[in-house]
Amino acid sequence: MSVEFETQSGVALITLNHAPVNSLGLAVRKAIVYAVRRAEADSTVKAVVITGANGCFSAGADIEEFADEGGLAFRSPTLPEVIDVVERCKKPVVAAISGFCLGGGMELALGCHFRVAERVARFALPEVKLGLLPGAGGTQRLARAIGMREALGIICTGEPLNAERAALLGLVILAEGDALGIAAAVALEAASRDERPSLRNREVSEEDRTDAEKIAKEQLSTLRHARLAHTACIKAVTAAVTLPFDEGAKVEFECFQELLESADSKALRYAFFSERTAGKIQSVPANAGIRPIDSVAVIGAGTMGAGIAMCCLNAGYPVVLVDRSRDVLDKAMATIRKTYDAGLKRGRLTEAVHKKRLEAIETTTNMAAIARVDLIIEAVFEQMDVKEAVFRTIDEHAKDGAILASNTSTLDVNRIAGFTRRAGDVIGLHFFSPAHVMKLLEVVRPSQTLPDVLATTMKFARKIGKVAVVSGVCDGFIGNRMVEEYCRQAFFLLDEGATPNQVDRALEQWGMAMGPFAMSDLAGNDITYAIRKRRAVEQPDRPYSNIPDVVCEMGRLGQKSGAGWYLYPAGSRKRVVDHEIESVISRLRGKTGVPRRDISDGEIVSRCLLALVNEGAKILEEGVAQRASDIDVVYLNGYGFPSVQGGPMFYANKLGIPEVVSQMERFQRGYQGKFWTPASLIAQLLKDKKDFNHA
């Protein structure tokens, strides 16, 4: 049942019960209207309380219903109609809120006459994160409830607020303990006074009415990257304080319709669904068992090991951190403590949580300590002989059924699995640096991994707050294999006449969080140098530009050495363009004999992005990625690809496969053009008139 109805002592209790998060799809909306009408018609009912089962009030609209025009979201009763029925109910309606009260759920609560919230309640209007705005009167009611400035802060960021803050703003009555009992009392009290205050009738403050334009401008100036959805939110909230309610609601609705059709929102909604879909693993039966994971060991306490340990501690796992060196362990503990101390200082951690996390970690040089844990994550040096020694030792000590994971970024996980007598229990867990910050986790699936190991690992990934994508075994997995081709093009562009700053700026202006040269400086130029040296042996027929090798050999390793493609004076992370490097590049370019030409920003963007697309297509046709959207999830969460562009494969679909092919053919006639043979999947899609998401 999607909505439950019961009456008790004159109060009708309407409980949204649509697992997992009481989303407000058509069936739920119909049931709410039915329940409210029933409460109105029942003469024994004096007041109504609306609450949610499943530990939350409601996480909002069912956004799958917005997938197409005329989708279920627009079938009557629509959410604005439901809220109207609630707000106009002849008996007082009180929302009793626990857990999430988000989006349409919060708009529903705003339509109630009173709101009572438990301390654990969390409120947000996150629509802007999907390129939308709250379209069920949320912009109108919130602005009237708390004033234009506060409402804009909440609506334009989409960030959550806790119950205490909501109470301070006058949005809710804070319940110490169970909200239901208090909500029922508030409801009966209101009934006895015949009070049904609605936000639609709330007076707008004088300041908001007269200064609306000024407040709107102020808000716009606080946004670093104002997009269509932001300006629409500001327009709708301005309408809320300057127009009668129904007219303001009309402006909100028009803005919502426009945003729904916008390219930004389409890409953001695609990204949202892609992330969800990535969790579904092909060829693993839904009933594959899940192994219990209650404790973790991390082997190798270097850069990655310390970060991985924090991810696990943050999610409540006890961790054994192992390294061969006591010194390294002490340094890792100092890093971990420093991070948690900073969290405490900034108020992100309570004293109790800070203490609990530090008590949950144990450090040791003795590998036997891993015997009791359920999951072992190896993060030692990236050398096969070191991995072999470590995995043989793990195999000796780990208990039966433990999952053995490697954080290798380039090595063959099939070979690593072969170092144990339990290849079925081995998996790759490719974290990104800094491991406790980056959302992406590539779950690398060697050929023998058992289905329950994969299913358990995906569940663990979710528990530690990662966005996990399954990748087959190949050099670089999904993300780094593609980024190599992206960087290869960036380096060729230097050969032809571009500067690092021009390439970075063009891609950053297009939306990438960081251009390839700044990214290389951050990661360390020695890392890609080592890969290029390996490639020179493995793939002698696939040349690279010589420029990055020379730059690295000059000792310009990037941020860590204070200079790379840019300068980083006095340990700063802020890059400074270095004219010396530009003259080095120009000298090297002269030696290659490639004629210098002016290169447009448009060409830079197309070359680099289509290099990602072509390699992504090969990854798809080889079955390394399960689906095109998984590749996009990797790029959106691990490589700073702009979410409003949906990911490289989405970008290619938007461009259209014929245009992709035509651009690649043009590049084929240019410098190092032999790299530009379209992947056979692309040729097939062109022939079949399909795209990556409809292959």
Q: Which of 127, 442, 484, 496 is catalytic?
A: 127
Report the amino acid identity of residue 82: V
For 16, what's the count of Cα atoms within 13 Å in the CB-facing half-sphere? 35
Active site residue 484: no
Q: Which of 165, 137, 142 is nearest to 155 (CA)?
A: 142
CB of 274 to ligand NAD, least distance (A): 22
Biggest CA pair distance of the chain: 92
Q: Of the two residues 265 and 406, which places its CB atom closer to ligand NAD in the complex?
A: 406
> Cα(341)–Cα(78) distance, rounded to whole angstroms?
48
CB of 367 to ligand NAD, least distance (A): 7
Report the amino acid identity of residue 635: Y
Q: Of the two residues 305 and 648, which places its CB atom closer to ligand NAD in the complex?
A: 305
CB of 406 to ligand NAD, least distance (A): 7
CB of 631 to ligand NAD, least distance (A): 18
Q: Of the two residues 3 and 426, which places its CB atom closer to ligand NAD in the complex?
A: 426
Peptide bond into 595 cis (omega under 30): no
**Under a CB-based contact definition with an 8 Å cutoff, are residues 226 and 220 in contact?**
yes
The two three-digit tokens of residue 189, written as one number: 């009290």
CB of 305 to ligand NAD, least distance (A): 6
Q: Of the two residues 47 and 328, which places its CB atom closer to ligand NAD in the complex?
A: 328
CB of 441 to ligand NAD, least distance (A): 10
What residues have CB less than 8 Å from 496, skipping those under 6 apart? 594, 596, 597, 599, 671
Hey, how many other C-beta atoms are within 10 angstroms of the C-beta on 7?
15
| Residue showing tokens 């008139």 | 689
Hey, how many other C-beta atoms are within 10 angstroms of the C-beta on 1?
10
Question: Would you list the DSSP string of 525-545?
Answer: HHHHHHHHHHHHHH-TTS---
CB of 641 to ligand NAD, least distance (A): 18
DSSP state of 74: G
Q: Of the two residues 290 and 334, which places its CB atom closer to ligand NAD in the complex?
A: 334
CB of 390 to ligand NAD, least distance (A): 5
Q: Of the two residues 322 and 609, which places its CB atom closer to ligand NAD in the complex?
A: 322
Q: Of the two residues 325 and 586, which places its CB atom closer to ligand NAD in the complex?
A: 325
> Cα(393)–Cα(397) distance, rounded to whole angstroms?
7
**Under a CB-based contact definition with an 8 Å cutoff, are residues 456 and 291 in contact?**
yes
**Under a CB-based contact definition with an 8 Å cutoff, are residues 422 and 395 in contact?**
yes
> Cα(412)–Cα(415) distance, rounded to whole angstroms?
5
Q: Identify the three-state secondary structure at position 502.
A: helix
Q: Which of 65, 87, 107, 484 is catalytic?
A: 107
List the Cα angle 75/77/81 in 5-degree steps: 125
> Cα(107)–Cα(136) distance, rounded to whole angstroms?
6
| Residues at the interface with ligand NAD (CB under 6 A) | 299-305, 322-325, 328, 379-382, 386, 389-390, 407-409, 431, 433
Active site residue 107: yes
CB of 332 to ligand NAD, least distance (A): 8
Q: Of the two residues 83 and 624, which places its CB atom closer to ligand NAD in the complex?
A: 624
Q: Which of 448, 491, 455, 495 is nearest to 473 (CA)?
A: 448
**Under a CB-based contact definition with an 8 Å cutoff, are residues 345 and 339 in contact?**
no
DSSP-H helix ranges across 148-280:
148-157, 163-168, 179-193, 206-222, 228-242, 245-260, 263-278
What residues have CB less than 8 Å from 182, skipping those under 6 apart? 96, 116, 173, 175
> Cα(254)–Cα(31) distance, rounded to whole angstroms?
27
What residues have CB less than 8 Å from 610, skipping those under 6 apart? 652, 660, 663, 664, 667
The two three-digit tokens of residue 303, written as one number: 């850069």
Hey, how many other C-beta atoms are within 10 angstroms of the C-beta on 261?
9
Q: First CA to last CA across the chain, in angstroms?
A: 38
Q: Name the residue whose CB lies closest to ligand NAD.
A: 302
Cα dist from 404 to 234, 323, 341, 441, whole Å: 51, 16, 31, 16
| Residue showing tokens 């528990």 | 463
- Residue 243 burial (CB < 10 Å; 0-12/13-18/19+)? middle
For 115, what's the count of Cα atoms within 13 Å in the CB-facing half-sphere? 33
Q: Of the two residues 89 and 403, which places its CB atom closer to ligand NAD in the complex?
A: 403
CB of 405 to ligand NAD, least distance (A): 11
Which residues are part of the catalytic machinery?
A: 107, 127
